[in-house]
Amino acid sequence: MAARLSEPQPLLALVEALRRLPGVGERTASRMAYHLLQHDLQGAQHLGRALSEAVSRLRHCDQCNSFTEATLCGTCQHPERDSSLLCIVETPADQNSIEATHGYSGLYYVLMGRLAPLEGMGPAELDFDRALARATNGFVKEVILATSFTAEGETTAHYLSEALRSKGLKVTRLARGVPAGSELEYVDAGTVAWALMERKPT
């Protein structure tokens, strides 16, 4: 019996292509393909167009390395941004998190990753030289390291911190502590330990 032989080639190719999305395995990819083809042909065409548009039109901002259509992104071009403050983040999603606070008016540099030697992501792959050149352009007075508080994010922050301080820049890191709105009882011990160590006078 010709089991899966009967699946038409364009369907197999679509499932294979969908599997390259992060977190999508074979079963999910099949479900997505069937859904698009059966219930949302327009959505499939739409996604196809959006992909080729994004690939052809997006580039990295010359200054902050985030995605943009122009040479410089909207944030870097904004006249009211404080160019003496530079916040280094791992991804554009992290940048959005900081923007969502409405409490930061400086500029950004987006690493587009974090040090992960086991995955072959070293300082060269992340182009740390470019990040350092951006921070030492003469305008920046303080660099805020806003990489994640994971082992890899901490390593990245440590590495950048050493390099930036050797150039005479003020380097700070986001505060560690108990999350807003949380009850101590339910906060993990590591976080409470940090909050204790970095306690502040009121």
Task: List residues binding a copy of itself (CB under 8 A).
Answer: 1-11, 13-14, 16-18, 20-23, 28, 30-38, 40-41, 43-55, 57-58, 66-69, 73-75, 78, 91-93, 96, 99-100, 102, 104-105, 112-113
> Shortest gap between Cβ of 25 and a copy of itself (angstroms)?
12
Q: How many residues does the chain have?
A: 202
Q: Which is nearer to a copy of itself, 96 or 137 (CB)?
A: 96
Minimum separation from the CB atom of position 70 to a copy of itself (A): 8
Please, what is the minimum distance in Å from the beta carbon of residue 136 to a copy of itself? 24
Q: Is the distance from CB of 162 to CB of 128 less than 8 angstroms?
A: no
Q: Name which of 94, 93, 108, 99 is nearest 63 in CA terms.
A: 108
Our CB check for a copy of itself shows the closer of 74 and 190 to be: 74
Choose between 113 and 123: whose C-beta lies nearer to a copy of itself.
113
- With a CB cutoff of 8 Å and minimum separation 6, the contacts of 90 are 110, 111, 112, 113, 114, 147, 148, 153, 156
Instruction: Choose among 81, 83, 90, 76: nearest CA to 137.
Output: 83
Taking the complex as a whole, how short is the minimal distance between the CB of residue 131 and a copy of itself, in angstroms? 15
| Smaller CB separation from a copy of itself, 108 or 159 | 108
Q: Which residue type, as a one-letter code, is found at position 149? A: F
Q: Which is nearer to a copy of itself, 60 or 136 (CB)?
A: 60
- Could you give the CA distance from residue 148 to residue 92 in angstroms, rounded to a whole number? 13
State the residue for tokens 């992104």.
Answer: 73
- State the nearest-atom distance from the C-beta of 162 to a copy of itself, in Å: 25
